[in-house]
Structure 1
């Protein structure tokens, strides 16, 4: 009360209020249900929520919706769902007792407010969803033309009445739809006829785009290949400030070799990733499936018709040495290797696989021409030509079946040779190093003899039947 309210005129009844607070039940946890209606009967309100048992089941289950049915006995209505939200509050019970005090010149009253905390609230259920159409089983009587409640004629009231129910003919049809809407949440989304109206196309600030989808294709033996780029690619290069020299550098690389990997283009051109991302849709299309998966191919070049494109097919190699080599070959998300390992593992941005080095990462996407191992290149040269009956297939391209498995065995053998030399050098230098037997191959037994490994590689090449 303000001071003006406390200073009353003569004959008025000033009031003093004393508040008594009881904090005994402060730790009691309660659940708040924001009921969307005026409650005049608590029992009927609880029945609309499914009863005490259903309410307790919802409260004890995480992320379960509380159903509200305005007609609990009517199965032909859709419930309004209430979602749980975090809340913070306390429930108070206030009792005020007033006592009048009479004196000679004035009459005053004294109030005592007993405030009891019933508990605190941490979770609340709010009914913010849409209320779908509700149906009442009411039909018009054809004789009296009055509306009558026909639920008992639609459903048997008791299980024992089923025989009588199905033997009684029905004179009307009541076929309400299951639901009118699939979702009951409100979307504040506005639809416009022109999505690009009022946007600045040059800056690309409100609707940034990555690659043009026209240059991303799936491999097929019958579909035509893209022959040129879209007009938007020129604008994208202008936004990224791509110079003519940078564009000509990439074009020259695709003239020399029509198929490239992304990492090889970045390594050979020395162009930044952002600018290369704008240049590639202008000069090449991208395969997402097939023998040239993840490869950029020059517009107009069809690898399905060029036998030389076998050198540029995709080779997906994954390191299979789970013991002994994982400390050397890293995942791309990991940091730098120790200094004593830098001369053993190829850099992450190096696009080729060299002899006497470990792969740059545990999974490498390479072209077969990027595998700089003599045995692999010799196998590529011995692949049967189209004159001898070779054809391009959707799964293997120009290479025979099982060719990739033979190349994996050769690469795995070279990796074992590299690791053996590394451990022998460490032992010779007195560093302790590791144990040769800790390197395990899933496909072939490990051997410490380098000459035996070289013989195995030669045998793989000789065993390849070039006549097929």
Structure 2
């Protein structure tokens, strides 16, 4: 039947339907609806855009692992066809009428694999296999406490999920020597992404390397880094022997491509210790120079006072580290081919330097003390007494006294609160600013930082306690 103005009332184009490709033969519609968890669960999954459709082939068992169906946008029609067949000639079908029952713009397909199924079946003393589901799962509400624990109840504790993914993975884990035999030495699936940097753990006795890795020098030549950029970073390390990558990018307005391959040629990277997260120039040993205290790292964490955490975003990504198969996230772990692999953005001023007008953009930021442009803290650094000859720095606090960084955090917190109060006065639409004390994100001090008498040392503009 053709669609026209005269028969438009017989077609339901305004009716929107949802198509589900059920992975099985349907003989009982009620059992089909029960496999989806009922009408309410089915409507909830369809109404949510990120929710996947769960299908349990054994809905009566709580141990059944569901199969997940993904939603796809489609364009189709549902036709209602009436046919007529003759008993003498059943192969011949005559179409009597065709009507449009509705249009389909959403379809669910079960294209992924189902998780491993573990049945509560055990072999009894007679040697036959029987199901112990009735013994494991109680029925109704238990009103009495058993006096004795039965000893014949089997142990059955399956995990929530056996597999992290429900799609086939192409990665095959092999030993390193096997991969070398299968793939030639000169053949590679992709270019190596290592920068050949020297990453070292802080130690008071281990010598520091004086030359870069030859592979790092070769990488710069292969990447064709501009010579003026190399000279700029090299001169900056001659003036200041210790840098963080964010400070280097923000000071000279450099992109990620400009510094990621140059830094391994300029110095070594400390992964822990007082200069953790910094690049130290080759030939410069911060353990032997007292002025290197200005280059130590201060981790500043915005405390949970008032509405500070509501105004400052978290630096970490919001994607879950472990994908949840119940919620669809097709872009998880996938890279957009049109998007460059390295962002060419420069670091913001507040990400590496702190001034009296700074409003942090992240809750946790790492500053070098030389980049903290606060007169009070700089005076505290200048007033630290010079150690005697032969005295080495501390493996934990470097050339700074114990609990020095804690007092610096208190000073920065006061400045941040003052700046937020000023911003609140300017913004009339901002909600009230309650000052309720909260805890820091992480405790960074141990009991070893206190004096033997249990009193804390004070380092401010009035004076500095002497170091022994």
TM-score under structure 2 normalisation?
A: 0.55
Change (3 A) 1:224 1:65: farther
The aligned counterpart of 2:264 is: 281
- Residue pairs, 1:364-443, within 5 angstroms: 382-387=383-388, 392-393=393-394, 396-400=397-401, 402=404, 405=408
Using the TM superposition, name which of 235-244 and 24-33 deviates more: 235-244
The structure 2 residue matched to 1:185, chosen from 163, 166, 188, is: 166
The aligned counterpart of 1:445 is: none
What is the RMSD computed on CA atoms of the aligned residues?
5.9
Distance 1:40 1:407 in 2: 71
Change (3 A) 1:119 1:233: same
The aligned counterpart of 2:308 is: none
- Residue pairs, 1:304-383, within 5 angstroms: 304-314=287-297, 382-383=383-384
Matched, 1:27 2:18: no
| Cα offsets for 1:357-388 (capped at 9, x unmatched) | 99999799876667899998776554311129
Would you tell me which structure has more helix in proportion to its own residues?
Answer: 1
Distance 1:261 1:167 in 2: 62
Distance 1:114 1:291 in 2: 83
The structure 2 residue matched to 1:77, chosen from 64, 76, 81, is: 64
Distance 1:246 1:136 in 2: 64
Distance 1:27 1:292 in 2: 67
Larger relative contact order, structure 1 or 2 (CA cutoff 8 Å, min sep 6): 2
Distance 1:167 1:298 in 2: 68
Distance 1:266 1:167 in 2: 66
TM-superposed CA distance for 1:189, in Å, is 1.5
Distance 1:366 1:159 in 2: 59
* Count of aligned residue pairs for this structure pair: 363
Change (3 A) 1:75 1:306: same
Change (3 A) 1:162 1:42: farther
| Cα offsets for 1:3-32 (capped at 9, x unmatched) | xxxxxxxxxxxxxx8886655422222221
Residues 18 and 113, structure 1, Cα contact 8 Å, conserved in 2: no
TM-superposed CA distance for 1:80, in Å, is 2.2
Change (3 A) 1:83 1:389: same
SS of equivalent residue, structure 2 residue 113: coil
The structure 1 residue matched to 2:280, chosen from 297, 307, 332, is: 297
Residues 114 and 166, structure 2, Cα contact 8 Å, conserved in 1: no
| Cα offsets for 1:186-213 (capped at 9, x unmatched) | 1342336467846879xx993363644x
Matched, 1:37 2:21: no
TM-superposed CA distance for 1:36, in Å, is 0.7
The aligned counterpart of 1:49 is: 36
Residues 285 and 296, structure 1, Cα contact 8 Å, conserved in 2: yes
| Cα offsets for 1:293-320 (capped at 9, x unmatched) | 55321235331332232244457999xx
The structure 2 residue matched to 1:206, chosen from 190, 193, 203, is: 190
The aligned counterpart of 1:126 is: 109
Segments of structure 2 that go 5 or more residues without pairing to the other structure are 87-91, 302-347, 420-424, 427-458
Residues 67 and 80, structure 1, Cα contact 8 Å, conserved in 2: yes
The aligned counterpart of 2:82 is: 95
Distance 1:74 1:240 in 2: 59
Change (3 A) 1:25 1:162: farther
Segments of structure 1 that go 5 or more residues without pairing to the other structure are 1-16, 100-108, 319-347, 417-436, 439-459
Residues 287 and 392, structure 2, Cα contact 8 Å, conserved in 1: no
Distance 2:299 2:150 in 1: 71
Distance 2:283 2:59 in 1: 68
Change (3 A) 1:95 1:222: farther
Distance 1:67 1:264 in 2: 49
SS of equivalent residue, structure 1 residue 278: coil
TM-superposed CA distance for 1:90, in Å, is 1.9
Change (3 A) 1:46 1:62: same
Larger Rg: 1
Change (3 A) 1:380 1:122: same
